[in-house]
Homo-oligomer: A and B are copies of this chain.
Amino acid sequence: MKAMMLRETGGPEQLKLEEVDTPIPGSKEVVVRLKAAAVNRRDLLVIQGRYPGIKLPAIPGSDGAGEIAAIGDEVSNVVPGDQVIINPGLNWGSDMHIKNAEFTVLGVPANGTYAQYVKVPAENVYSKPSHLSWEEAAALPLAGLTAYRALVTKGKVKKGETVLIPGVGGGVATYIVQFAAALGAKVYVTSSKEEKIEKAKSFGATGGINYTAENWAKQVQDLTGGIDLSIDSIGGEVFSILPSLGKIGSRIVSFGATRGPVPNFILPSMTVKEISVIGSTMGSPQDFADMVKLVEQHEIRPILDKTYSLEEVPDALLRIEKGANIGKIVLNIPQD
């Protein structure tokens, strides 16, 4: 089969199209013939060698959708030909609250979806939502799962609440906007680009603030009247402002820190207002199942940024690195 193989860490240009053996399913495993894959920031970190537990050579890629091509022994949930999406969280364990130490993400160390075929545990495949195209289906898993756990399982969003998403643009943030709107929350976003704020309004945001304005925090306060739930992936100085925007008893979920550690975290404002900061990453099998259900119920369609061919994945990764995307970047997988 064709695959984009990573033999050495470095930049996206390290990925090379190679002809490799098609995987064979073991017991309780399936092989999926991929129709489409999607690109995540994690892939970039892996390729740059900035992710723990990397073993090379390997095929990156966590997101994919396709048809069951082969099944191993003791597989009863699918048959060849079934149309599926893949939950990229491997070995979560039995406690849905806490992942165990063996938890990994599909795509390094295990070979991932930058390929024509991928082998995964049978329990990791779910029926493809019928209202989604292959591209949309491939764009859903990792970012949709991360968004769902952050917003619902950890953030416990409630109908009517005011949700703030600093830095809309990345795939997870766009799903958070969509999911929060579907669940009846009022969603506000920040961005440095008016274009991204306008786009966010088109898929569910109530309003947005350009954070290049010096008084952006006051603008958020005036516009919203205070935040019940912030879902942040930026960190840095932006994060240290979030407690001042929160109502008494409000929550801040953190699922990343693209701008690094928080330089001056003001505990007194957290204490006095009893604000919680809640770490969240990926999600459990239960989160995945619940996320797919939400997407089907509300017929949510992933926001797609751009589609590339499998060979063009280095260009796709550079687009993510620049933060130029709004929504998910998808890969078409060659079918022959």
From B100, B261, B278, give the contact of A265 (CB < 8 A). Answer: B261
- CB contacts (< 8 Å) of A273 on chain B: these are 279
Residue in A101, A239, A254, A271 with the greatest tally of chain B CB atoms within 10 Å? A271
A264–chain B nearest beta-carbon distance, Å: 5
Whether A235 contacts B272 in the complex (CB less than 8 A), given A101-B248, A248-B99, A277-B277, comes out as no
Residue in A249, A261, A266 with the greatest tally of chain B CB atoms within 10 Å? A261
Whether A261 contacts B261 in the complex (CB less than 8 A), given A248-B99, A256-B271, A279-B275, comes out as no
- CB contacts (< 8 Å) of A280 on chain B: these are 271, 274
Contact mask A163-178 → B, CB, 8 Å, 1/0?
A: 0000000000000000
A167–chain B nearest beta-carbon distance, Å: 14
Closest to A272 in B: B281
- CB contacts (< 8 Å) of A99 on chain B: these are 248, 274
* A254 and B271 contact, CB distance less than 8 A: yes
A80 at the interface (CB under 8 A from B): no
A93–chain B nearest beta-carbon distance, Å: 10
A-B contacts besides A99-B248, A101-B248, A257-B267, 10 pairs, CB < 8 Å: A97-B249, A98-B249, A98-B274, A99-B274, A239-B267, A262-B264, A262-B267, A267-B279, A276-B277, A276-B279
